[in-house]
Structure 1
Amino acid sequence: MHVFIGGAYNGKHEYVRRWLQEQELIEVEWYVGQLPKAPTSKTVVISGLEEIIKPLLEQDEKLLATQIVEQLQLLDKKHQIIIIASEIGRGIVPIDQQDRQLRDTLGRLYQQLFAVSDQVTRIWYGIAEKIK
Structure 2
Amino acid sequence: MHVYIGGAYNGKRNYVKQHYQHKVQHLFEGHIPEDTVFESQDVIIIGRFEQLVQQHAHLTEDEIVARLMEKLKQLDRQATLVCICTDMGRGIVPLEKEQRFLRDTCGRLYQAMFAHSEQVIRIWYGIPQIMKEE
Tell me the TM-score range normalised by the shorter chain: over 0.9
Structure 2: how far apart are the matches of 1:128 and 1:92? 24
TM-score (norm 2): 0.92
Is there any run of 5+ residues in structure 1 with no aligned partner, and where? Answer: none
Residue in structure 2 matched with residue 58 of structure 1 by the alignment: 58
Residue in structure 2 matched with residue 36 of structure 1 by the alignment: 33
Deviation of 1:66 after TM superposition, in Å, equals 1.4
TM-score (norm 1): 0.93
Deviation of 1:75 after TM superposition, in Å, equals 0.9
Deviations 1:111-131 (A, max 9, x none): 111000010000011000000
Structure 2: how far apart are the matches of 1:44 and 1:122? 19
Structure 2: how far apart are the matches of 1:34 and 1:91? 26
> Size of the alignment, in residue pairs?
129
Root mean square deviation of aligned Cα: 1.0
Per mean C-alpha deviation after superposition, the further-off stretch among 38-47 and 68-77 is 38-47
Deviation of 1:70 after TM superposition, in Å, equals 1.4
Structure 1 segment 90-129 matched on structure 2, within 5 A? 90-129=90-129
Deviation of 1:58 after TM superposition, in Å, equals 2.4
Deviations 1:6-60 (A, max 9, x none): 0101111111111112xx21x1110000001114352100001110111212211
Structure 2: how far apart are the matches of 1:100 and 1:34? 21
Structure 2: how far apart are the matches of 1:39 and 1:129? 32
Note if contact 2:50-2:102 (Cα within 8 Å) is conserved in structure 1.
yes
> Tell me, what secondary structure is at the counterpart of 2:78?
coil
Residue in structure 1 matched with residue 84 of structure 2 by the alignment: 84
* 4+ residue segments displaced more than 6 Å: none
> Tell me, what secondary structure is at the counterpart of 1:77?
helix
